[in-house]
A and B are shown apart, each in its own frame.
Chain A
Amino acid sequence: WAVTRGMEKGYFARREFSFTLRDDIYVRYQSFERPQDLEKELQKACPYKVDIGAVYSHRPSQHNTLRSGAFQAQEKELVFDVDMTDYDDVRGCCSSAEICSKCWTLMTIAIRILDRALVEDLGVQHRLWVYSGRRGVHCWVCDDTVRKWSSSLRSSIVDYLSLVKGGADTVKKVHLSDPVHPFISKSLRLVEEYFEQYALLGQDILGCRESWDKVLALVPDRPPLREQLQQDFPRKRDSVQRWARLKALSSSSSKKLPSYTEQEIMLQFCFPRLDGNVSKGLNHLLKSPFSVHPKTGRISVPIDIQRLEQFDPFAVPTISSLCRELDEANDEDKDKENEEDPESRRRVRDYKRTSLAPYVRVFECFVEDMERARRGELLRRSDLQGDF
């Protein structure tokens, strides 16, 4: 399996898994000698949710027997978690756990910005983007060197990648200063591609007085800028025109001081908001790819970033749709299904007959890339976990 494969002996056994059982019973520090053991345990315990943790210095299942301090996380994929909930103050369509096709654009933007930075700035290769199953996306960065990164380096990187700062008490959450770092300007270019379509037309952020007041709160309180806009906005026809007015005014009003009002607003509305804690610590757990989201039933599927724009979270198969497809498929070729298949082969065939297949292919491509990068290692069957 991708996150553990091809490593030196004992690597898998030192990996932490944790299960969420019925009634939110949480079991941490599970570990297994071999992938097959994990599989057996999965079938036995039928957890609602499986999380993957770090690779530790000792077997996590024995963490209690060790002296405190001796048991330490050594390696872990660098993971990112972007959650739609964090955008609640800037999306008008949905709130908290809900998503719609309108606000999903935010995730698309987030993935494009982060993915660019990961490759061009940080020089990583193996990124697996995964739909979390409900309202966000995860990214697993699996390069060998990255897995060994210290948590202090991880947190530096998170700080590097974060622009939107402050909670409910902060109105203006993005502040740019001169000079604008290339990471920001490159990200801005990506945001610009989407801004009109998403924010002005889709979210209609300048559509009515109530919503444009929120935007104007981000405009520096420097007369006559804000008042002028207050006067002008009602006369304009729609968000696009109002935005053009704002752009024109804010750039003309400040000849001397460089002002980034327009850019700051764009970033506040569109820039990815990372859940930093997930990325910073080595011992943080994150839901395994291909698991079923406990609330929505949707499978946590990998996203093909080549075809990112086409990804539709609502088209993702759910556990019930998969079961239906499997049943139908089984009915169809019941006759052929009489030879004594080993469990594994049957499983491989099973998923191929469902709508999960294209997603598995994305995953397989990712794994193959990694394998190509790592020569001379054992090929292991990619373990599919859609069975609980």
Chain B
Amino acid sequence: MVLKIVENLGVKYLKGTDEYKSKLEHELRKLKFPYKALAEDDYDARRKDHISHFILRLAYCQSEDLRRWFIQQEMDLFRYRFNELSDPLVQQFLEYVNLLYEPISKDVKKRLKDELFMSTPGLSAEKVEEQSFYKIPLQDAQDLIRVRRVLLNYGFALVPHQDMVVIILNNYRTKLSKALAVAAVIGKLHRTGRRDVCGGVPTWLRKHWSKAQAHGGDLSVLSLTARSLPAVQSDERLQPLLNHLSHSYIGPDYSAQKNTGKISLEQIDALSVKSYPICMRQLHKALRENHHLRHGGRMQYGLFLKGIGLTLEQALEFWRSEFIRGKIDADKFDKGYAYSIRHNYGKEGKRTDYTPFSCMKIILSNPPSQGDYHGCPFRHSDPELLKQKLQSYKISSTGISQILELVKGMHYQLACQKYFELTHDVDDIGFPLNHPNQYFVESQKLLSGGRELKKEMSHPGSSQLKPTSQESINSSSATTTSNNEADTELEGLDEYFAED
């Protein structure tokens, strides 16, 4: 949650400006995030921070996209927190993390005075005099070398105290990304059943893991994140939580009950143009044109429809009327497809009431392949095609380039947010967009002057730990039995219809 905010603000404001800082501080305060923990020495808060950080590590090590996102946000958060530290605390911190670099001697500094001054923009001659410079190995100072902002002297970068944050960030990034990579590899080995490679680690580590939990996160044990992953993955209590954390979002789950029956089938076409996010608009169009959608699309769109208020009966009618215009006859539809629709509404099989997919889930799991129309258009289409699509939706060319810029920076949800702002002619929707159904609700709210659907938005749920494990149906590594059940059920259906 904290990281999400860091991302949103990072894109909205220029990083490092005062506005960015104060906004971030405000948000962090709101969340009671111990962003000044080292300064305030609040043990309890720090403990919580540690635990959540390492749990997130476990959750976010599972794919390249997740890792990159996680690292980027942690970097920004770290930079902010580090810059808030006072000088003695910086020193203390450096000692603590064992990053003690050797400062250059007075003589050397005197000799290189002019060069030091010339190589560090923004540092006055007096400042050069007063700050200490550290000898940093080249590989730790890459970011500074690249932009020629540091003096190189016989294989060492001489970095002034004020630029140390860059070095430390670099170091932190390397460590974090290594740890995540190792965690991912071990996790994979473990999943494929090659426990032998992990060398019997699971059992004893599992003990430590639970002990660590009991003791509230003893750091030394938690820092074994990577190696403890196998243990964690075999721990049935944790696995669904981890999958859920990285794939899910925190907020209302848009399960259907609240607004069922508000929408009639005749409205759908109009709504799809006005209030659908692009991913759903694309699915709807494909369905109308081809009279068919493959499994991934049916899941994504079907649950979305359920979320915007289609009843089971309406859904059945909707899908049937469309499908029988294609190659499927009514009989075949009733035998096969109807089941999965009822299944989505919790009327078959495990009888779970499934919730619509969040953006995170759409972006990260089950990428579309040939013949599929689901997924997130911002994430899963070529920029060129996306551009054409946006043009056909009559987005202005400046808007398109703004969107493409966000896509380039892999801010897919923000791109969607931009799309929302452009199509609804508002400057700033003022909330982070992270669910297609949220898009729909907000859009309706705006279009109808905020009368009708207001009620639904009123409880921002803190459902982080609510075991909505059904959301991870498609997540690759679901190991819990309940998920397996769902998986096999759905896979079976898929195979059943594979011929069309």
Using CB atoms and an 8 Å cutoff, list the residues of chain A in contact with chain B: 117, 119-124, 149-150, 152-153, 155-157, 159-160, 177-185
Q: From residue 67 to 121 of chain B, which have CB atoms closer than 8 A to chain A?
A: 115, 117-119, 121
Q: From residue 259 to 293 of chain B, which have CB atoms closer than 8 A to chain A?
A: none
A160-B118 in contact given A149-B139, A150-B139 (Cβ < 8 Å): no
Q: From residue 115 to 162 of chain B, which have CB atoms closer than 8 A to chain A?
A: 115, 117-119, 121, 138-139, 142-143, 145-148, 151-156
Bound-complex Cα distance A120 to B154 (A): 5
Note all chain B residues with C-beta closer than 8 A to A178.
121
Residue of B at shortest CB range from A180? B118
Using CB atoms and an 8 Å cutoff, list the residues of chain B in contact with chain A: 115, 117-119, 121, 138-139, 142-143, 145-148, 151-156
Partner of A124 from the list B117, B147, B151, B155 (CB cut-off 8 Å) is B155
Is B139 a contact partner of A179 (Cβ separation < 8 A)? no
Is A121 a contact partner of B146 (Cβ separation < 8 A)? no
Is A182 a contact partner of B118 (Cβ separation < 8 A)? yes
Bound-complex Cα distance A177 to B156 (A): 24
Bound-complex Cα distance A180 to B115 (A): 10
Bound-complex Cα distance A179 to B147 (A): 13
Is B154 a contact partner of A123 (Cβ separation < 8 A)? yes
Shortest Cβ gap from B46 to chain A (Å): 32
Is B145 a contact partner of A160 (Cβ separation < 8 A)? yes
Residue of A at shortest CB range from B156? A123
Is A153 a contact partner of B121 (Cβ separation < 8 A)? no
Is B148 a contact partner of A122 (Cβ separation < 8 A)? no
Q: What 13 additional pairs, Cβ within 8 angstroms, besides A122-B138, A153-B142, A156-B145?
A: A117-B152, A119-B154, A121-B153, A123-B153, A153-B139, A155-B146, A156-B146, A160-B152, A177-B121, A179-B118, A180-B118, A181-B119, A183-B119
Bound-complex Cα distance A184 to B151 (A): 11
Residue of B at shortest CB range from A148? B139
Note all chain B residues with C-beta closer than 8 A to A117.
152
Residue of B at shortest CB range from A150? B139
Note all chain A residues with C-beta closer than 8 A to B118.
179-182, 185
Note all chain A residues with C-beta closer than 8 A to B115.
182
| Top 3 A-B pairs, shortest CB-CB distance | A123-B155, A121-B152, A123-B154
Is B154 a contact partner of A153 (Cβ separation < 8 A)? no
Shortest Cβ gap from A101 to chain B (Å): 33
Note all chain A residues with C-beta closer than 8 A to B152.
117, 121-122, 160, 183
Note all chain B residues with C-beta closer than 8 A to A184.
148
Bound-complex Cα distance A159 to B119 (A): 15
Note all chain B residues with C-beta closer than 8 A to A180.
118
Note all chain B residues with C-beta closer than 8 A to A153.
138-139, 142
Is B148 a contact partner of A160 (Cβ separation < 8 A)? yes
Residue of A at shortest CB range from B123? A179
Is A159 a contact partner of B155 (Cβ separation < 8 A)? no
Note all chain B residues with C-beta closer than 8 A to A182.
115, 118-119, 151
Note all chain B residues with C-beta closer than 8 A to A179.
117-119, 121
Partner of B143 from the list A150, A156, A177 (CB cut-off 8 Å) is A156
Bound-complex Cα distance A38 to B219 (A): 53
Residue of A at shortest CB range from B148? A181
Bound-complex Cα distance A149 to B139 (A): 8
Bound-complex Cα distance A333 to B181 (A): 65
Bound-complex Cα distance A103 to B146 (A): 29
Residue of B at shortest CB range from A186? B115
Bound-complex Cα distance A64 to B128 (A): 55
Note all chain A residues with C-beta closer than 8 A to B151.
182
Bound-complex Cα distance A119 to B153 (A): 9
Cross-chain pairs A/B with CB under 8 angstroms, 7 sampled:
A120-B153, A121-B154, A122-B155, A155-B146, A159-B146, A159-B147, A182-B118
Among the interface residues A149, A181, A184, which one has the most CB atoms of the partner chain B within 10 A? A181
Residue of B at shortest CB range from A154? B142
Shortest Cβ gap from B125 to chain A (Å): 10
Is B146 a contact partner of A160 (Cβ separation < 8 A)? yes
Residue of A at shortest CB range from B122? A179
Note all chain B residues with C-beta closer than 8 A to A149.
138-139
Note all chain A residues with C-beta closer than 8 A to B119.
179, 181-183
Note all chain B residues with C-beta closer than 8 A to A159.
145-148
Note all chain A residues with C-beta closer than 8 A to B145.
156-157, 159-160
Bound-complex Cα distance A160 to B154 (A): 15
Among the interface residues B118, B146, B155, which one has the most CB atoms of the partner chain A within 10 A? B155
Shortest Cβ gap from A88 to chain B (Å): 26
Note all chain B residues with C-beta closer than 8 A to A150.
139
Partner of A156 from the list B142, B153, B154, B156 (CB cut-off 8 Å) is B142
Note all chain B residues with C-beta closer than 8 A to A185.
118
Bound-complex Cα distance A154 to B249 (A): 39
Note all chain A residues with C-beta closer than 8 A to B138.
122, 149, 153, 157
Note all chain A residues with C-beta closer than 8 A to B142.
152-153, 156
Bound-complex Cα distance A218 to B300 (A): 57
Note all chain A residues with C-beta closer than 8 A to B146.
155-156, 159-160
Note all chain A residues with C-beta closer than 8 A to B143.
156
Residue of A at shortest CB range from B143? A156
Among the interface residues A123, A156, A180, A185, which one has the most CB atoms of the partner chain B within 10 A? A156
Among the interface residues B143, B154, B156, which one has the most CB atoms of the partner chain A within 10 A? B154
Note all chain A residues with C-beta closer than 8 A to B153.
120-121, 123
Shortest Cβ gap from B128 to chain A (Å): 11
Bound-complex Cα distance A177 to B147 (A): 12
Note all chain A residues with C-beta closer than 8 A to B147.
159
Residue of B at shortest CB range from A157? B145
Note all chain A residues with C-beta closer than 8 A to B139.
149-150, 153
Shortest Cβ gap from B154 to chain A (Å): 4
Bound-complex Cα distance A123 to B135 (A): 13
Bound-complex Cα distance A180 to B114 (A): 11
Shortest Cβ gap from B26 to chain A (Å): 35
Shortest Cβ gap from B351 to chain A (Å): 42
Bound-complex Cα distance A156 to B141 (A): 9
Shortest Cβ gap from B445 to chain A (Å): 46
Note all chain B residues with C-beta closer than 8 A to A123.
153-156
Bound-complex Cα distance A180 to B148 (A): 10
Shortest Cβ gap from A120 to chain B (Å): 6
Shortest Cβ gap from A149 to chain B (Å): 7
Shortest Cβ gap from B359 to chain A (Å): 29
